[in-house]
Amino acid sequence: MGTNNLVVNNRMRDIRDADYFHVFGVSNTVRGNICIGFEDTPNSGNHMDCFQTFGLNGHASKHMIIEENVFGYNYNPTDVDIAQICQLEQNLNHEIHNWDIRNNIFFGLLKGECGIPSVRWHNNVFYQIWTNASGGAIIINWAESGRNNATNAQILNNVFLGCGKNDQSGWYSVGDGSSIVTNTWKVDFNYVAALDGSPKRAGLPQTNQRWYEPHGINGGSDCFQDIRQHDFRLRQDAPLRNKGVNLSNYFSRDHTGNARPVSGNWDIGAMQFVASENRVVLPPSFKGIVVHP
């Protein structure tokens, strides 16, 4: 709640039967937090999210920024109702809109459901998301009667690595049964691949059934320094370098605070390539965390 609040640089882990963040108000920012671990009480029926908003309480939730965070690890990855990236519902509340979700790293979680207008997913890493299902890492509910309206979505410069359970899933999809990607979306310049770097099955323009992007990268390996240690810094020879669209009208830095170019193409993913950078994503207290197969 409130306006212009900052939730910055917290370290949280092993939450039980709860969400990490409920986000309401105006122009609030959640930045640089590391939130690892979810566990539910058996048979509780709880549904957990990294962050959530909804319109049923009548509160506003607009002009929010979720950036430079790390969210990950589901204790029970076979349960389809536990530990999602997010659930964003409008519920016909027109004071819920305009979120920026950027430069985050998500791993070992279930899908992110988005049902509010003008949400911009920029330069995130989605690693092994919803590996037990045939859906997308991001589900856009763009015309769900009585609940959601996710027009004007942007999905740009993201990494979808090892997501979904087959070669026809694991990036983004429409969750209301529509087969057409609405023309209010901007969806392009993303990288998608299986864990071994093999491509996903391509489809036709303007369909929801298979991956298609005119400027995206489908397949390719050896992009990152060490994904097993959740180190998503780009290798010097990574094919994702200089292949993203420039989004400097929205923001100017990467996951670690490095400046992104004012002009020219950006790198795809949460981290702009910097030759001398040695930073490791997770601090020592979070080492040894692995994603369940």
What is the rounded CA–CA span in Å between residue 46 and residue 83?
9
pLDDT at 175 over 70: no
Convert the pLDDT of each residue in 56-73 to its tens digit.
Answer: 888 999 999 999 999 988
The tokens describing 256, both together, are 């670690």
The pLDDT value given to residue 147: 65
Beta carbons of 220 and 192 less than 8 angstroms apart: no
Confidence of residue 292 (pLDDT cuts 50, 70, 90): very low
Of 213 and 174, more confident = 213
Identify the CA nearest to 227 among candidates 271, 183, 264, 187: 271
The helix/strand/coil state of 286 is helix
The pLDDT value given to residue 17: 85
Identify the CA nearest to 32 among candidates 293, 270, 276: 270
CA distances from 103 to 11, 69, 158, 191 (A): 17, 7, 9, 14
Percent of the chain at pLDDT above 70? 82
Identify the CA nearest to 254 among candidates 282, 227, 235, 281: 281
Confidence of residue 174 (pLDDT cuts 50, 70, 90): low
Of 32 and 171, more confident = 32
Beta carbons of 153 and 122 less than 8 angstroms apart: no
Instruction: Give the pLDDT mean for 248-262.
Output: 95
The pLDDT value given to residue 53: 94
What is the rounded CA–CA span in Å between residue 133 and residue 111?
9
Domain range list for the chain: 6-286
Q: What is the mean pLDDT of the chain?
A: 85
Instruction: Give the pLDDT mean for 83-101.
Output: 92
Select the highest-mean-pLDDT range: 12-16, 99-103, 112-116: 99-103
Convert the pLDDT of each residue in 2-49 to its tens digit.
Answer: 899 999 999 998 888 889 999 999 999 999 999 998 877 777 767 789
pLDDT at 157 over 80: yes
Convert the pLDDT of each residue in 198-248 to its tens digit.
Answer: 999 876 665 555 677 889 999 998 899 988 778 899 999 999 999 999 999
Select the highest-mean-pLDDT range: 13-17, 79-83, 278-282: 13-17
CA dihedral 71→65→122→178, nearest 10 degrees, is 90
Select the highest-mean-pLDDT range: 130-139, 256-265, 282-291: 256-265
The pLDDT value given to residue 91: 86
Angle at 226 between CA 221 and CA 229, to 5 degrees: 135
